Chains A and B, each alone.
Chain A
Amino acid sequence: MNPDIPDWRGGLVTAGVDIGSTSTQAVIMVDGQLYAYSSIRTGSDSPNSAMDAINIAMEGTGITSQDIDFTVGTGYGRVNVPIADKTVTEITCHAKGSNYIYGSSVRTLLDMGGQDCKAIHCDETGKVTSFIMNDKCAAGTGRGMEVIANLLSVPIEEIGDLSLNVDEEPNPLSTICVVFAKNELTALMRNGWPIEKVLASYCRAMAIRVVRLLERNGMEANFAITGGIAKNTGIVRRIEKMLGVEALTSELDPQIAGALGGALIAKTLVEKRK
């Protein structure tokens, strides 16, 4: 809950709900300012996940669903947001949300979500100008990272830092395909590679793949990363190094970019109607 907004009553209350394949976020804004948000794991029932996320976000605020003037649903499960007044794709929402989180200078976005990976260009208002998506395989996605974390019995949130703990960067895994990567990773472990080196090899391969996606769409300063994997320092550092750029940072959680964008778009739609 945003302490800078003393009272939400009287303001335009909008919400964005981003139902991803692995996590769901809900954001509440008042007059286009971030007010409250939540992030939970997506359950097997998307409509319930959406309502749970919104309810958690509203907790302690005094807001009820009736008080929300407009809700935008986005993400993989966007058609399953019961209270959504409109659905907008996560591409459009992430660009808008990133503009808020990182500022109007951001032009190139990388969104690494649960099941796909997107390179997005936007203008100074956060409007999308071009995009490329990769959803053919798990490489560069949260799902892929989860599989590797399980295989190597490493908590997913530790992977990044561990992978950076190497003196010399090893060769990247020869295959990015998660199915075949499992074999190669196991072989490396058997060959006595320490866990840090194995993780470095995987993160490097993944970063290469992601960088190619970005380059295909074209790189333009400034650059920012959203989605769950933005928190994986191992991937982020490697991407930055390969591209020779530093990703913008923010105190706000980059995972909420989609829902935040949705709430902003909701505001625009309300204002257009007037």
Chain B
Amino acid sequence: MENLLTYSGIRNESIEQWKREGKKTVGTICCHVPGELLHAAGLLPVRLRGTGCTDDSEGEVWMSSFACSFARSCFEFLLNGTYDYLDGIVSSDGCSMATRIYDNYKYYKRNEDSTRFYLKDIGAPRLYNGKHAVPYYISELNELKKGVENHFGVTITEEKLKHSIEVFNETRSLIRELYELRMSDEPVITGEESLKITLASMTMPKEEFNRMFRDYLTELKTRKPLAGYRARLMLIGSAIDDPEYIKVIEDRGGLIVCDATCYGNRQLWEPVAYEGDAISSIANSYLSRTVCPRMCQVSTHNSLYEMIVGMVKDYKVDGIIYTKMKNCQVWGSENLYCEEDLKAANIPLLIVEREEIMTNAGQLAVRAEAFIEMVEKGDK
């Protein structure tokens, strides 16, 4: 059986094969670039990340030491050839740092022939289901659609979009099945492996992923339950695209059973309901699903917090590890909003700061271990 996990790497055989077939790849930034639209154009959308970056000094020259290391690492990879297989980048303004990855790269390439590399940024509203937000987003998406068609010389038909939605919905459904397994009292898969799977889903053609993962799931269901872990943990916080980080926690005895992170379950989860036309359907779905604290008006639309509390219950979570990327504003102060509520709900919380380039594994390890000692419920 082919190993799906090898396709979780930023450079992998699946992408190589795609390129050999003469097909094109577009990097996407954050969760509001609809991959379906690019897929319908015959492109491979690949979600930009900084996994495995060991040196972001060039990124820092451009983005400064005040930028978050996730953004700097992504930019470093754009500069150092790691992403040289891309034929374009489409960015949504998830947060200011994400926007700056795009802005700096566009500036970096300003003297190059713009017909060779597709660059587009779209505005993603910050109000869930906003009555004016959805039409705004639809206009942005229509503009993106035209831009993709012009640049790549393709036509994105309604049929193609509808089909793309179906393909992506299958991916979403498979990821939900994966998490369903993690809900079990006798889980068979670690958080580290699960993250590799969701990363693979963002770094290879969805059809191939769907096919491979269906087989993978069958195998998973036959596995013996994991033993030796001491606590069931949930991960929330700034983007985590690094399975090594999760491994540090799991090596200390904590099993990550679920999360509310954007490389985990927040990008591909809620299905797009097709109603009327594809672009509207995508816009409505993308703007109703819970993402991250980039959204405003959360007091009246508290879906992120409710989701977290709901998952703690469903996944029988013993404690939440909340990681904050240094200089991340979006997740950096979320505790101001939710820490008291989590305390009132008797959900133990460990807050740790992190950098994309992991230099402090020992520090993470001792905190994780102390937290596990604090929340474990007896020997397993």
Binding site for B on A (CB under 8 A): 88-92, 127-133, 135, 272
Q: Which A-chain residue is minimally distant from B351 (CB atoms)?
A: A132
* Contact flag A129-B373 (CB < 8 Å), given A89-B366, A135-B363: no
Q: Which residue on A lies nearest to B372, using beta carbons? A: A89
Residues of A within 8 A of B371 (CB): 131
Residue total for B at the interface (Cβ-Cβ under 8 A): 12
Distance between A121 CB and nearest chain B CB, rounded to angstroms: 10
- Cβ A129 vs Cβ B363 within 8 A: no
Residues of chain A contacted by B367 (CB below 8 angstroms): 133
Across the interface, name the chain A residue whose C-beta is closest to B343: A130
Q: In this assembly, does B374 line the interface, its C-beta being within 8 Å of a C-beta of chain A?
A: yes
Q: List 16 A-B contacts (CB under 8 A).
A: A89-B366, A89-B369, A89-B370, A91-B370, A91-B374, A92-B373, A128-B373, A128-B374, A130-B348, A130-B349, A130-B374, A131-B370, A131-B374, A133-B366, A133-B367, A272-B379
Is there contact, CB below 8 Å, between B348 and A92? no
CB within 8 Å of A: which of B330-380?
348-349, 351, 363, 366-367, 369-371, 373-374, 379
Task: Give the most central of A89, A130, A131: most B CB within 10 Å.
Answer: A89
B residues near A92, Cβ cutoff 8 Å: 370, 373-374
Given pairs A92-B373, A133-B363, 10 additional interface contacts (CB within 8 A): A89-B369, A89-B370, A91-B366, A128-B370, A129-B374, A130-B348, A130-B374, A131-B371, A131-B374, A272-B379
Q: Assuming the A-B contacts A130-B348, A133-B367, A135-B363, are A88 and B373 also in contact, with contact meaning beta carbons closer than 8 angstroms in the complex?
A: yes
Query: Whole-angstrom distance between the alpha carbons of A272 and B374 in the complex?
Result: 17
Interface residues of B (CB under 8 A from A): 348-349, 351, 363, 366-367, 369-371, 373-374, 379
B225 to chain A, nearest CB (A): 23
B362: nearest residue on chain A (CB-CB)? A76
Query: Complex: how many Å from CA A29 to CA B351?
Result: 34
Cα–Cα, bound, A227→B366 (Å): 17
Interface centre among B363, B367, B370, B379 (most CB of A within 10 A): B370
Within the complex, what minimum Cβ distance (angstroms) separates A133 from chain B? 6
Q: A128–B348 Cα gap in the complex (Å)?
A: 11
Smallest CB gap from B378: residue in A: A272
A70 CB to closest chain B CB (Å) equals 15
Residues of B within 8 A of A129 (CB): 374
Whether the Cβ atoms of A89 and B348 lie closer than 8 Å is: no
Residues of B near A127 (CB, < 8 A) are 374
Q: Which residue of B lies closest to A89 (CB)?
A: B370
A7 vs B104: C-alpha distance in the bound complex, in angstroms?
A: 74
7 smallest beta-carbon distances between A and B, as pairs:
A91-B370, A89-B370, A92-B373, A128-B374, A89-B369, A89-B366, A135-B363
Chain B residue with the shortest CB-CB distance to A78: B366
